[in-house]
């Protein structure tokens, strides 16, 4: 059974730069329309989080800053020029965080839950970053860990989930991050040798995709998911960012919707003994909504091909193949 955490207010929420804010909103609006046509799911209304909930994951000074800028009568930036603030923003932030709280509660009864407006993996404890005012995924992971659950995270996005890695680097949570990387592409983090420390030692995996990689490279990268069943998680959190699509406005990869459908199929296969909580992640292109639904169709076990498969140079395939082999040899 699939549950989608949904509130019509999601259609009007975007924390991204003003130049792409409307595109981000349109993705969420189109997603729910297409999902209602193609998917069988239960709609779950999110509760609103509290300031105390927010303080579990962010510093008090930063939370106060969000509260203060929410009272200003104009739009500005929370960070260096990516993540906006606007009048009444705090209410939207609490609704977004509340979606994760709701997902945790309902996961007792529903095996797979998806939050289309979520997956803000760049935010740090003390500041916003990369269109992310809060880190809802870290909140969920830590809340589940505190409950004694065994958590695995699969973070697939055009951009490395630097905030999520920082929060959980020393935690006994399996963390797999698949992203575009050339050493400079935002946020520029995610070295292969960063494997975790303390309780998280050996549990952090960064899979770097060469810029403009196609479906064939992505499929090769997904071999890393072989390690998930060995970890035996009770929960799998998946950030299914679709900003790696070939037509995305923040061009970085050359993926088609086929890759996201395959991701869903793979997650379904490795989650037979796990609950799944998924997040929509990033996406700023005309096919973003379709890719999100293709992922969920895969999660239901349905293959969908609405675009031609994309291909890469042999060198890119070999690079990722060697990378995955190296990481698989280091699993413990």
| Beta-sheet pairing, 151-156 with 42-44 | unpaired
Residues 6+ positions from 109 with CB-CB distance below 8 Å = none
| Active-site choice (58, 122, 159, 160) | 122
**What ranges do the domains of the chain cover?**
2-329
pTM of the full structure: 0.98
Cα of 254 vs its chain's centroid, Å = 18
Spatial distance between the Cα atoms of 207 and 244, rounded to a whole number of angstroms? 14
- Cβ-based neighbour number of residue 170 at 10 Å: 15
160 is catalytic: no
Q: Tens-digit pLDDT profile for the chain (332 aa)?
A: 999 999 999 999 999 999 999 999 999 999 999 999 999 999 999 999 999 999 999 999 999 999 999 999 999 999 988 999 999 999 999 999 999 999 999 999 999 999 999 999 999 999 999 999 999 999 999 999 999 999 999 999 999 999 999 999 999 999 999 999 999 999 999 999 999 999 999 999 999 999 999 999 999 999 999 999 999 999 999 999 999 999 999 999 999 999 999 999 999 999 999 999 999 999 999 999 999 999 999 999 999 999 999 999 999 999 999 999 999 997 44
Question: In the CATH hierarchy, which fold is given to the domain comprising 2-329?
Answer: 3.40.800
């Amino acid at each position: 059974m699939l549950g989608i955490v949904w509130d019509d207010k999601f259609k009007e929420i975007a924390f991204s730069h003003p130049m792409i804010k409307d595109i981000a909103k349109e993705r969420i609006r189109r997603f729910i329309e297409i999902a209602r046509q193609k998917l069988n799911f239960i709609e779950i209304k999110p509760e609103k989080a509290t300031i105390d909930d927010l303080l579990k994951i962010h510093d008090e000074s930063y939370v106060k800053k969000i509260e203060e800028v929410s009272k200003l009568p104009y739009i500005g930036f929370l960070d260096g020029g990516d993540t906006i603030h606007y009048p009444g923003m705090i209410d939207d932030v609490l609704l977004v965080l509340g979606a994760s709280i709701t997902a945790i509660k309902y996961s007792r009864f529903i095996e797979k839950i998806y939050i289309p407006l979520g997956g803000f993996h760049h935010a740090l404890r003390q500041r916003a970053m990369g269109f992310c005012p809060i880190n809802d995924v870290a909140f969920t992971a830590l809340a589940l860990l505190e409950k004694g659950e065994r958590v695995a995270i699969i973070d697939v996005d055009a951009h490395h989930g630097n905030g999520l890695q920082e929060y959980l680097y020393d935690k006994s949570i399996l963390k797999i991050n698949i992203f575009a990387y050339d050493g400079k592409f935002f946020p520029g983090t995610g070295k292969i040798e960063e494997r975790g420390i303390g309780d998280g030692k050996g549990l952090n995996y960064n899979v770097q995709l060469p810029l403009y990689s196609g479906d064939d490279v992505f499929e090769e990268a997904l071999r890393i998911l072989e390690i998930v069943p060995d970890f035996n998680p009770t929960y799998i959190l998946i950030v299914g960012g679709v900003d790696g699509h070939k037509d995305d406005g923040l061009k970085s990869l050359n993926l088609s919707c086929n890759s996201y459908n395959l991701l869903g199929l793979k997650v379904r296969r490795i989650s037979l003994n796990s609950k799944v909580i998924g997040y929509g992640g990033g996406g700023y292109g005309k096919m973003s909504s379709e890719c999100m639904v293709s992922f969920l169709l895969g999660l239901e076990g349905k293959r969908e091909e609405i675009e031609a498969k994309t291909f890469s140079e042999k060198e890119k395939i070999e690079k990722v193949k060697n990378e995955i082999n190296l990481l698989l040899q280091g699993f413990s």
